[in-house]
Amino acid sequence: MTLRTTRAWVLTTPLALLLASPLLPQRYRGRFSEDEYLPPPPDANEETEYYFVRLAYQGGGNGYRRSRAWMTDSPAADRHFLQGVRRLTNIHARSMEKYLRPLDPEIFNHPWIYAVEVGYWHLNPEEAAHMREYLLRGGFLVVDDFHGAYEWEGFFESMQRVFPDRPIVEIEPTDAVFHVLYDVDQKVQIPGIQYLRSGNTFEKDGVTPHWRGIYDDQGRLLVAINFNMDLGDAWEHADLPQYPEHWTALAYRFGINYIIYAMTH
Amino acid sequence: MFEFLFKYSPTVFRKGEFVFLTGWPLWLLVALVAGAAAGLAWHLAHSPKSSHVALVRRVLVCVCQTILLAVLLTLLWHPVMRVATLRPQQNVVAILVDTSRSMAIKESPDTRLDKVQASLNSGLLKKIQDRFQVRLYTFSSEPNRIDNAAQLTPAGNATRLGGSLAGVLRETSTLPLGAVVVFSDGADNTGGLDRAVLAEIRQKHIPIHTIGIGRTEIPRDLEIADVTLPARALPGSRLSARVQLRHNGLSGQRAHLSIRDGGRILAARDVTLGPQSLQTEEMLFLSGEPGTRKLTIAVDPLPGEEVTGNNLLTRIVQVTAGRRRILYIEGEPRWEFKFIRRAADEDQSVQLVSLLRTSANKFYRQGVDDAKQLAEGFPTTAAELFQFEGLVIGTIEANFFSAAQQDLIKEFVNRRGGSVLFLGGRKSFTEGGWQASPLAEVLPVRLGTQTGVFHRRPVKASLTPQGRESLLCRLEEDSDKSAARWAKLPDLADYQLTGELKPGAVALLNAQLPGSKDIPLLVVQNYGRGRSLIFATGGSWRWRMRLDHKDTTHPTFWQQLLRSLVANTPSPLTLTSDRVIYSDDDHVRLRAEVRTKTYEPASNASLAATLLDEAGRLTRFEMHPSPDQEGIYEAEIAAAKPGSYQVEVTAHRTDEQLGRDTLVFHREDGIAENFHPQQNRELLEKIAAETGGRYWRLEDVAKLPAEISFSEAGITTRETMDLWDMPAVFILLLLVLSTEWLLRRMWGAV
């Protein structure tokens, strides 16, 4: 690429993006607009037992997915969900989210971590080994918001690096994770905000929702995999009147169950 | 010398009664002596002949003459000793000769028994027979009458001094037994002289003369003197065996100590023998699977050891099957809860039943037996709570529990004998208002009133000296290595200030606050029949998350802590025996403590007891209520043959079964004599002193026949022995007169 063509790209790309912005999906606009500017809650620095920790992974590919996919829906989703956790449970939870890189040793101080858009995550061997160690010590990983065969492949590729020898299985409806605080119905697909535009509860070819998991040798869930659904959006848009409340409520229940399960098993 | 001066042996003065034969009043003697002294003093003071003599000289002369007069006047009163003596040929003297195997020990060049035989046959026996009727016995476990001292063979497997003396007393109960003579090394292996036997001997005033045989020390000997081990243990738990070594002449040498279960070595290490003859070594090992473990504790013989049979001891440990139940109530979901549960789930010996308050009004139960258990929340009755053996109270407000429940928890510790562990957290101790609860009394620390004392700041846990020695905090078998691991542990996530330790409480762990003094972290104390503990943090889970996933520090610590809560918690029926190993002894005393479901002593229970021997024979026996203690039942049974025995006892009251317990003990023969083979002079002296006899060395025993006569047992006569003609009296008079004469000579008066 010549210097001239580079300069042309630099000048034209932002302009093109600006012009095309009304055409971008609603969720992406939300991400880049108001959410980034949510001020920290007054008690954001309180030392608590539980922190909503997001895995700040490096995505594959280029651009947004490489650098920012991990923070999809944040911080609104995190803050809304945390308010629910604080109100509905006895968990001493901090009101503000926390972001940690896969190799950050601080990750071991937080045995619950959330990763989003994992169809585009990329864990290198060192990061995968670190995550494996984290999970084997007692950490708990929730992955969310990825859809269809293509994104599953993207997720699976890195997950295999974490646990090459542990199968990913469907979580049985009787598993404690669905009953630890709330008895939740796993047949309901929780869609993202795109539902308001498309009327579909699914995205891409991810028609059927799956609650999958990876277990340890003692039968304890290590990784909860929300495939073909988007709990993050349901939390993020908890205050959006157009987004159906029952999906948000269900997403809260799933999320809270994941935390309490992680704190009891 | 004594007998030359005082005419009679010391025994006459020790046993006899000092009297004056004349019958004149004693006050008259005192008055005459006082009068004579006064008269002499007056004479010396007023006599014109002595007026020029110095006062000191006059006083000295007065004293000498007063002593002279006093002695002469006393002799006029006719002093005598009255002493009971055995009538010749009318009394029986029992001579017991120890023929246990320890009497076969060679001591330059003869055996101990050879020396006894030589002594008896060299005229001693005949001298005694000249005065008394003699009954000759050999004894080891029991006495056997023999005709002469030629029939002595050192083959007895045990020495039972008390039992043998009791046997002789029984056999001679219709005879005029005047005295007992015991030839023995005193190496008793059944605990010395029984109190009842001693009381019987005292009552009959039978003096026992003991003749000590053998060296009081064996040169170059190493012995396992004792091993202290818990009789029961939980599966897979770390056990401590305290091995007491007695050695002589081997200081500074290395010895190899081991504990084996059959052919399997459970623990082994080298120890250096210290300057003291007794030293205790601690050996740690894992109890293993449920079942009865017959453990061999051995120390390898060292070069030049004369006796090696005492280098090995056997002990039995019952590893009980089944999980001991612990109730854990937690006020909020937190990481500590998760990792405690994980540690407990990996432990086959405990069942952690947990009740977690997930939201304001919801509880999540784990580890329950069925859907009904704890469905109504924390137990409200003693029967419901007391089915657990340990209790963990997490971070929850005191007023979550009703007043009745708080009393119940107190009784759980005090009466039921369970242990309760309080954990730190944002609703624990003063943060949860526990200082105003009746349970504050149970806590091992004095709570203050200050709140805001729970801090989510990293802090290091450190072992106290007591914690370093405690099995509860032991991460490695070696205490130094264990302490090194503790020093490297990651920080705790949080800590809580509680208060100062109560008297009797022991801190095993402290939290090291930066720039401040250490605060108690893990504290334990006994309370009633149980124990209470605090662990003033909710952040030990960092030992799991900040160490490699293969590291076992966190589960090991928590499993040990949880097991310590239940290891000694009594069940409704607790069966114990006075020993676990009966060496050459068949006499077994059993004791059962029976309680109701609410752990009140069960006084009117009926007990069904059976004894199963190795051949599969089942014998039923009775257990009787103790007259002294409510809820205690006792029995004495015989283990007829060597081998393992299992006792099973079931307690009922009306149709309700109160409890059931089993116990294993073992009888082994031919072992006891290997231990303590040196002469136990202390025991022999004690027996002689307690009964009015005398301890003799074998070389002094020629004087024994004359000494035996002085006894109040049997058919006696009271002898009157004059004292006026004792050489000591004349020597005294001569001394006084000579002193006065010499003084006068010095002063130029004669």
pLDDT tens readout for residues B51-92? 777 888 888 888 998 999 999 999 999 999 998 888 888 899
Confidence of residue B198 (pLDDT cuts 50, 70, 90): confident
- For position B171, what pLDDT does the model report? 87
Q: Which of A108, A109, A264 lies closest to B333 in CB terms?
A: A264
Chain B CA closest to residue A137:
B549
Distance CA B573, CA B714 (A): 50
Asked if residue B225 lies in contact with residue B247, where contact means CB atoms within 8 angstroms, the answer is: no
Chain A CA closest to residue B555:
A137
- Is a pLDDT exceeding 70 seen at residue B47? yes
By the 10 Å C-beta count (0-12 exposed, 13-18 middle, 19+ buried), A4 is classed as exposed
CA of A219 to nearest chain B CA: how many angstroms apart?
Answer: 12
CA of B457 to nearest chain A CA: how many angstroms apart?
Answer: 8
- For position B424, what pLDDT does the model report? 98
Residues B197-217, mean pLDDT to the nearest whole number? 85
Mean pLDDT is lowest, of A32-41, A253-262, B204-213, B597-606, for A32-41
By the 10 Å C-beta count (0-12 exposed, 13-18 middle, 19+ buried), B214 is classed as buried
Q: Express each pLDDT in B551-568 by its tens digit.
A: 999 999 999 999 999 999
Which distant-in-sequence residues (6+ apart) come within 8 Å of B213 by Cβ? B98, B103, B112, B115, B116, B183, B184, B185, B679, B698
Q: Which of B341, B538, B544 lies closest to A137 in CB terms?
A: B544
Handedness of CA A156, A182, B405, A48 (dihedral sign): positive
**Under an 8 A CB cutoff, do B545 and A47 touch?**
no
Chain B CA closest to residue A105:
B546
The helix or strand, by DSSP H or E, that contains position B328, with its residue range, turns out to be strand B324-330
- For position A27, what pLDDT does the model report? 39
Residues B584-613, mean pLDDT to the nearest whole number? 93
- Is a pLDDT exceeding 90 seen at residue B394? yes
- For position A98, what pLDDT does the model report? 97
- For position A22, what pLDDT does the model report? 40
Distance CA A96, CA B685 (A): 82
Measured CA to CA in angstroms, residue B749 lies from B37, B73, B737 at distances of 22, 27, 15
- Is a pLDDT exceeding 60 seen at residue A23? no
Q: Which of A109, A136, A181 lies closest to B364 in CB terms?
A: A181
- For position A3, what pLDDT does the model report? 40
Residues B374-397, mean pLDDT to the nearest whole number? 97
**Under an 8 A CB cutoff, do B357 and A259 touch?**
no
Chain B CA closest to residue A108:
B545
- For position B31, what pLDDT does the model report? 93
- Is a pLDDT exceeding 80 seen at residue A5? no
**Under an 8 A CB cutoff, do B548 and A133 touch?**
yes
For every residue of B584-610, DSSP letters joined together read: T--EEEEEEEEB-TT--B-TT-EEEEE
- For position B191, what pLDDT does the model report? 62
Chain B CA closest to residue A134:
B545
Would you report the helix, strand and coil content of chain A in percent, each value rounded to 5? 45, 15, 40
Q: Which of B345, B358, B548 lies closest to A89 in CB terms?
A: B358
Residues B659-680, mean pLDDT to the nearest whole number? 86
- For position B272, what pLDDT does the model report? 96
Residues of B with CB under 8 A from a CB of A: 331-335, 337-339, 341-342, 345-346, 356-360, 362, 364, 366, 426, 456-457, 493, 538, 541-542, 544-549
Which distant-in-sequence residues (6+ apart) come within 8 Å of B465 by Cβ? none
Q: DSSP assignment, residue B536?
A: -
Alpha helices, H only, B574-710: 681-691, 704-708
Q: ipTM > 0.90? A: no
Region of residue B304 (phi > 0: left; psi between -120 and 50: alpha; otherwise: beta): left
Residues B40-50, mean pLDDT to the nearest whole number? 82
Q: Express each pLDDT in A183-208 by its tens digit.
A: 997 689 999 999 999 999 999 999 99
Residues B286-292, mean pLDDT to the nearest whole number? 91
Average pLDDT of every residue of chain B: 92
B contacts of A47 (beta carbons < 8 Å): 456-457
- Is a pLDDT exceeding 70 seen at residue A38? yes
Q: Which of A47, A92, A264 lies closest to B364 in CB terms?
A: A264
- For position B577, what pLDDT does the model report? 95
Confidence of residue B750 (pLDDT cuts 50, 70, 90): low
- For position B702, what pLDDT does the model report? 87
A contacts of B331 (beta carbons < 8 Å): 90
Distance CA A127, CA A105 (A): 11
Pull the structure tokens for residue B160. Answer: 């039972």
Q: DSSP assignment, residue B473?
A: G
**Under an 8 A CB cutoff, do A49 and B544 touch?**
no
Distance CA B750, CA B53 (A): 13
**Under an 8 A CB cutoff, do B359 and A88 touch?**
yes
- Is a pLDDT exceeding 90 seen at residue A16? no
**Under an 8 A CB cutoff, do A92 and B332 touch?**
yes
Residues B451-476, mean pLDDT to the nearest whole number? 96
- Is a pLDDT exceeding 90 seen at residue B588? yes
Q: Which of B329, B335, B342, B365 to mutate to test the interface with A (most CBs of A within 10 A)?
A: B335
- Is a pLDDT exceeding 80 seen at residue A99? yes
Which distant-in-sequence residues (6+ apart) come within 8 Å of B526 by Cβ? B504
- Is a pLDDT exceeding 80 seen at residue B673? no
Residues of A with CB under 8 A from a CB of B: 47-50, 88-92, 108-109, 111, 133, 136-139, 180-181, 218, 259-260, 262-265
Residues B202-206, mean pLDDT to the nearest whole number? 82
User: Which value, in Å, is the radius of gyration of the alpha carbons in chain A?
Assistant: 19
Q: Percentage of chain B surpassing pLDDT 90? A: 65
Handedness of CA B102, B104, B105, B110 (dihedral sign): positive
Amino acid letter, residue B540: S
- For position B696, what pLDDT does the model report? 93
- Is a pLDDT exceeding 70 seen at residue A36? no
In terms of pLDDT, which residue wins out, B3 or B663?
B663
Q: Which of B345, B348, B354, B359 to mutate to test the interface with A (most CBs of A within 10 A)?
A: B359
Pull the structure tokens for residue B519. Answer: 């605060």
B contacts of A49 (beta carbons < 8 Å): 332, 334-335, 456, 538
- For position A30, what pLDDT does the model report? 38
Q: Which of B328, B332, B334, B338 to mutate to test the interface with A (most CBs of A within 10 A)?
A: B338
Distance CA A257, CA A263 (A): 10
In terms of pLDDT, which residue wins out, A159 or A11?
A159
The helix or strand, by DSSP H or E, that contains position B172, with its residue range, turns out to be none
- Is a pLDDT exceeding 60 seen at residue B709? yes
Residues A60-76, mean pLDDT to the nearest whole number? 85
Pull the structure tokens for residue B481. Answer: 């290595």
Distance CA B680, CA B677 (A): 8
Mean pLDDT is lowest, of A16-30, B308-322, B666-680, for A16-30
A contacts of B542 (beta carbons < 8 Å): 109
Q: Which of B332, B334, B549 lies closest to A136 in CB terms?
A: B549
Amino acid letter, residue B45: A
Chain A CA closest to residue B493:
A109
Residues B492-516, mean pLDDT to the nearest whole number? 95
Residues B142-158, mean pLDDT to the nearest whole number? 84
Which distant-in-sequence residues (6+ apart) come within 8 Å of B44 by Cβ? B50, B53, B58, B61, B62
Distance CA A223, CA A121 (A): 15
Mean pLDDT is lowest, of A44-53, B660-669, B711-720, for B711-720
Handedness of CA B360, B366, B371, B375 (dihedral sign): negative
A contacts of B362 (beta carbons < 8 Å): 181
B contacts of A263 (beta carbons < 8 Å): 333-335, 337-338
- For position B190, what pLDDT does the model report? 67
- For position B192, what pLDDT does the model report? 63
Chain A CA closest to residue B494:
A49
